[in-house]
Structure 1
């Protein structure tokens, strides 16, 4: 059984409880598969990245197989503004959509989400049919100063791997959700001097576990989510925060996905 998000943002939890950890978010228009149910909570797996977690059943909207097959057969569109609006034509209420939200079956401003239909107000674009890495820098900079939020995927709260995932997705490249999954992709770049804009830098803790990721901008700069989405200096040792006057993240490996 599948569902689709008809809310602005739906938190996904580690356990079927409001008191558990938020591990990610699903944005408007994103679909998921329902894996299990417990006490009014649904264990779901995101269609795009297969990331699993629990959502409250009251935030779920079911879709049938015919709708899903129609949806994936059509061009996909995404919200380009930091925040846009959509009107639910069923009850004439308005919701706010964040950058990167999906607009399934968009036709002349109308978004069809199965049992719910919305009039979209804002700017949007189609996902590129081929990956367009030329837009990586501008996409990354559009999230600049977004506050850090563990599990977040929006300009109003985002974590390091969610930031990387959203920037790459907006350029037509789907990545896994977590840094420890993202590091498995791409080709190793041995030296900072050989990097190009859009390469991914991964960082480790003292135990050697990947705990952080950011996007290289060239000129020994990196944009990453740490406290907020920010630009810092990077060298072979790691990220150097000039405000603090020290290294904050130890470099483990650099990967190129193109």
Structure 2
């Protein structure tokens, strides 16, 4: 049976037990729950540091581990969007790990070892990462959240998980100037679908990882006439996606300027069409009220 290898934990030698009736494999396993415990971890296509970067896992994300090798790679599936790939084993912890309580709302923040911003950071976190907060302290007028692992994060850079943002374009605009990175999902580097996924998730909308999956799953169709578009509408080309910003501009992470940028709609449509990829569809996603 055909299946999408991006979203299906199945190899010829091993597969998830829940797929036993759908795929052929030498053995099937239940997998072990785990959670990402570093700020950012690469999910690669193969168990090698030079394998293609398919996406990235952020701190606090949950996942299922199906296999581990002696070289320090785990074959996993992320819970956030179902993506399957190879993650360094040092990047996650299996078993009973504290559940996140807050998400990062700043473009980037740090995890400190003590209640002081003068301490050398232990790690950094990107927008959308999650932490498990166990206490809040105020020192010299600054509020901090203490995490279950003993780290400290500035409270102003966090929000409770149940507090969502109102406008995905506002979220995406925080990434302006961020370098384009294939497979990237962070403020150090991000790609077009990673930007859209991150912006929508901050507003309470779960989104698939890749453009083709987003186009198939998100929202309702809108006419291709730019006069019909609204702020936040998603523009889809083959292998690319952007967000309508206003009547004349859209925002996207793109390899044309190798960064997240704002581009005039008319000029952008013409430029991308001239490269052989005319606009294919427009989708409108309604955010939860």
Is the TM value for this pair above 0.5? yes
- 116, 129, 152: which one pairs with 1:119? 152
> Is the Cα contact below 8 Å between 2:83 and 2:209 reproduced in 1?
yes
Alpha-carbon separation, structure 2, partners of 1:56 and 1:103: 20
Match for residue 269 of structure 2 among 216, 230, 239: 239
CA contact (8 A) 1:8 1:96 kept: yes
1:39-118 alignment, distance < 5 Å: 39=70, 40-64=72-96, 67=97, 71=99, 76-88=101-113, 94-108=122-136, 109-112=145-148, 116-118=149-151
Which entry has the higher C-alpha Rg, 1 or 2?
2
RMSD value over aligned CA atoms? Answer: 2.5
Q: What is the CA distance between 1:105 and its match in structure 2? A: 4.2
- Structure 1: any 5+ residue segments left out of the alignment? 205-210
Structure 2 residue aligned with 1:250: 278
- Corresponding residue for residue 207 of structure 1: none
The yes-or-no answer on 1:142 pairing with 2:170 is no
- Please give the TM-score of this superposition, normalised by the length of structure 1: 0.82
Aligned to 2:14: none
Deviations 1:156-180 (A, max 9, x none): 1000100100111111111011111
Give the conservation status (yes or no) of the 8 Å contact 1:239–1:247. Answer: no
Which runs of no fewer than 5 residues in structure 2 stay unpaired? Answer: 1-31, 115-119, 137-144
TM-score between the two structures when normalised by the length of structure 2: 0.74
Give secondary structure in 2 for the equivalent of 1:85: strand
The within-5 A match list for 1:16-35 is: 16-35=47-66
Deviation at 1:88? Answer: 4.9
Question: 1:238, 1:250 within 8 Å by CA — same for their partners in 2?
Answer: no
The DSSP-based 3-state class of the residue aligned with 1:218 is: coil
Please say if residues 238 and 247 of structure 1, whose CA atoms lie closer than 8 Å, have aligned partners that are also in contact: no
SS state at 2:269 partner: strand
Runs of 4+ in 1 over 4 A off after TM superposition: 246-249
In 1, Cα distance between equivalents of 2:168 and 2:36: 26
Aligned to 2:187: 155
